[in-house]
A and B are shown apart, each in its own frame.
Chain A
Amino acid sequence: MATTSSPKPSVGGSGMNSILKKTLVALTGLALIGFLVTHLAGNLFLFGGSTAFDGYAARLEAMGPLLIVAEIGLAAIFVAHVVMAIKLTVENKAARGPQGYAVNDNQSEAPSRFMIVSGVLVALFVILHVKGFKFGPREEFGGSLYALVMNEFANPGVAIFYIFSMLILGTHLTHGFWSLFQTLGLIKPEKRRKVKQICTVLGWGIALGFLVLPLFGLLSGKKRTPLPDGVKELIQKTEAVR
């Protein structure tokens, strides 16, 4: 009897089989968790006030081209994670076939079933977050990133959006963190429950660590939004007329 079938090209059009595709999502996910940890560590300078936080920002920016390389690498990892996850989701939907279940009482944990939903929400948050802070109007606050961040967080709408997004991130990590070790085959038999517990605690530790920042800004934030230049001029003119 022959042992193996003759070699055939892989399916899916991507030239990658299912486990390799999942491995890519797992490895990029691990890298993104690594980024989250360093990002959170840096952000804790926010509690140290303007000097500490702006000093940290200045030290990061002093890295110059190295920082740009790191940022491009991070963006590439992020895009790879998102694109591959979307591709897998599309394939998985197709695998159900033409007719779905009329009644479906799925016994898995909810965060594992809604990874694409939580993932897309987190990705949308990241876009708005980068736009608002990295490319935000820092010059309006005398170049102080601290003032910009605290001012944004003092706005309840922004703070609640950030807090909500961090809860979504927590649910994403609830499944994503332990699941990546399963995909990489790094979980020993009978140790899965323990790995899952540790990863869930660490994942929520990261998410809640971030969540504290907008909460801190909201509770301590009395800073008013600086008036736009046009409005300032208008006020000056009105006073001059009086």
Chain B
Amino acid sequence: MNFTLNVWRQKNGQSSGQFVTYQAKDISPDASFLEMLDVVNNEMEAKGEEPIAFDHDCREGICGTCGIAINGRPHGPRNAVTTCQLYMRNFRDGDTLTLEPWRAQAFPVVRDLVVDRSAFDKIIQAGGFISINTGNAPDANGLPVPKDDAERAMDAAACIGCGACVAACKNASAMLFVSAKVSHLALLPQGQPESRKRVKSMVQTMDEAGFGNCTNTGACEAECPKSISLDNIARLNREFLLSKLFG
């Protein structure tokens, strides 16, 4: 398969970038999107050109490191997959693909398609953990958790923090990410002792990082590679308002 790539090239955070057109030739339909970029980069390196910088790590859809806006959609046209799990057979031979980094004030471009997502780390540092002593591994069923809550907590915990929600949102809001991180703890008994403090601190850090305000458009849910539900945002709002009202 052959593709025309319009790739955002930017030397560093200070310089201004521009699109550069490349040809990806003889690409296997079974190549992942990142493998296709590897082929293009190998050719560029052979010619002595600077390869396209992009983030990647596990390449099996579980680490949240990769992420490219492909033809205006974070992680490309398929739902519920990361960029590394997107295969070239999902495109048509001869397609022109526009590759852009996540665009958000809070995610400054480091180089080409790589952005700095440490704003997410700061939000987690503000309270996305449990610091109480939860003791040794408890007896099975020693701590009763309703099945529905366990499922919802697990669904929220599937968030890999890739930032596609921010990239997709017209407001560059991080509410889906924060709501997933608040929810998976708020739904379980171990998260209760610090729940009020946690939600206030994480929302405050989110605002300070320069993310936009959620307007419930649902673009985040549509692009999330882990299908994190907008239900979590309702829970985050509820947790936050209750923490403001009652401590």
Contacts and interface: CB of A to CB of B under 8 A. Distances in A.
Interface of A: 1-5, 8, 10-12, 17-23, 88, 91-92, 94-109, 112-113, 115, 175, 178-179, 181-190, 192
A145 B131 CA distance: 67
B197 A97 contact: no
Contact of A96 (B72, B212, B215): B212
Given A18-B203, A186-B238, A189-B231, A3 B131 contact: yes
Nearest to A180: B216
A21 B218 CA distance: 19
Contacts of A21: 213
A102 B9 CA distance: 13
Contacts of B216: 112, 175, 178-179, 182-183
Nearest to B211: A95
A3 B212 contact: no
Interface stretch (B21-29, B58-66, B103-111, B135-143): B103-111
B239 A185 contact: yes
- Interface SS of chain A: loop
Counting chain A CB atoms within 10 Å of each CB, the highest count among B104, B201, B204 belongs to B204
B183 to A, nearest CB: 9
Contacts of B108: 97
Contacts of A101: 69, 72, 100, 103
21 contacts: A4-B201, A10-B204, A18-B206, A18-B207, A18-B211, A19-B237, A97-B104, A97-B105, A98-B105, A103-B72, A106-B170, A112-B216, A112-B218, A113-B217, A175-B217, A184-B238, A185-B237, A186-B238, A188-B234, A189-B229, A189-B235
A170 to B, nearest CB: 18
B203 A182 contact: no
B238 A22 contact: no
Given A19-B203, A108-B222, A192 B231 contact: yes
A91 B212 contact: yes
Nearest to B17: A99
Nearest to A22: B213
Interface of B: 6, 8, 17, 19, 69, 71-73, 98, 100, 103-109, 125-127, 129, 131, 148, 152, 168, 170-173, 194, 197-198, 201, 203-208, 210-219, 222-223, 229-231, 233-242, 244
A179 B204 CA distance: 22
Contacts, number: 176
A105 B222 CA distance: 11
B3 to A, nearest CB: 15
A24 to B, nearest CB: 11
Contact of A5 (B125, B229, B239): B125
Contacts of B129: 1
The 10 closest A-B pairs by CB, nearest first: A185-B238, A95-B212, A105-B72, A92-B171, A107-B222, A108-B217, A185-B237, A103-B72, A108-B219, A97-B105
Contacts of A1: 129, 131
B213 A108 contact: no
A92 B213 contact: yes
A23 B173 CA distance: 16
A110 to B, nearest CB: 10
B171 to A, nearest CB: 4
B100 A102 contact: yes
B207 A11 contact: yes
A13 B241 CA distance: 20
A190 B229 CA distance: 9
Given A19-B237, A101-B72, A182-B237, 5 more contacts: A11-B208, A91-B213, A103-B69, A106-B217, A179-B216
